[in-house]
Amino acid sequence: MNYKFPKSEKLRLKKDIDKLFDKGKNKFYMPLSVKFIKIGDAPINLCAVSVPKRKMKKAADRNRLKRQMREAYRLNKYILDDTNTKFHMMFVYSKSEKVPYLDIEKAMINLLKHLKTLKK
């Protein structure tokens, strides 16, 4: 199992992010929501994380939450490995206060399991 999260798996291109927000679907599981779109010709899943400044005023808090979200994705991305469908996805933190890492990880696992069921 590969637990790395290299640059090649990160959603970075503006055109891909714009396409995601124009045509993507939402799924919400407190405290995270995921915006996703199925990509048929992509070799790998691409992922990005975001914590809105409106929700978290302090940059240190935003950075910590983004780091925790990336870590939760990195450790649980194997859930999507056995699917043929690939996704572009962005995880967005949607609470106004900080929550423990275990809550973030639980939400990440549930959202990834939801994406896995979409292939059928």
CATH number belonging to the domain at 7-117, selected among 3.30.70.260, 3.30.70.590, 3.30.230.10, 3.30.565.10: 3.30.230.10
Could you state, in order of their start, the residue ranges of all structural domains in the chain? Answer: 7-117
Contact at 8 Å (CB) between 26 and 34? Answer: yes
Helix (H, G, I), strand (E, B) or coil at 2: coil
- Global pTM reads 0.93
List the pLDDT tens digit at each of the 120 positions of the chain.
Answer: 789 999 999 999 999 999 999 999 999 999 999 999 998 878 899 999 999 999 999 999 999 999 999 999 999 999 998 888 899 999 999 999 999 999 999 999 999 999 999 865
